[in-house]
Amino acid sequence: MLSNEKYTGDVKLLKSGKSDVHYLISENNPAIIPKETFEVVQIEIGRRSNVVRDENGSKRKSNKYSSKKK
C-alpha cells in the first residue's frame, strides 16, 4: 500500500509492454490516502533504503537503517 500510487486515485498505464511511454490517469478511483501523505512516505522510504544510485549504477550502503538507533 505504501508504494502503490493506485491508492491515491491515480493510475499509470503503459502505452505498450516495453515502451517507456505511459499515461497517468488522475482520479480513476476513489483515493484511500492523500497524495501528500503518499509523497512523504516515498521520501521516507528512499531515506531508509540502503541502496545508493549514482552514475556507476546501484550499490548497497555499508550500514542499514534501524529504528532502534534513534
Range of the domain at 13: 5-56
Specify if 41 maps to a domain.
yes
Report how many domains make up the chain.
Answer: 1
pLDDT at site 66: 65
C-alpha cell at 54: 549514482
pLDDT per residue as tens digits for the range 5-59: 888 888 877 766 676 777 878 877 888 889 899 999 988 888 877 777 777 766 7
What pLDDT does residue 65 have? 61
In a domain, 19, yes or no: yes
pLDDT at 67: 64
The SS3 of residue 11 is: strand
Calculate the dihedral angle through the C-alpha atoms of 46, 31, 26, 36, rounding to the nearest 10 degrees: -40
Neighbouring-strand partners of residue 11: 25
Evaluate whether residue 66 is within a structural domain: no
Instruction: State how far the Cα of 1 lies from the Cα of 44, in Å rounded to an integer.
Output: 14
- The CA distance from 64 to 45, in Å, is 12
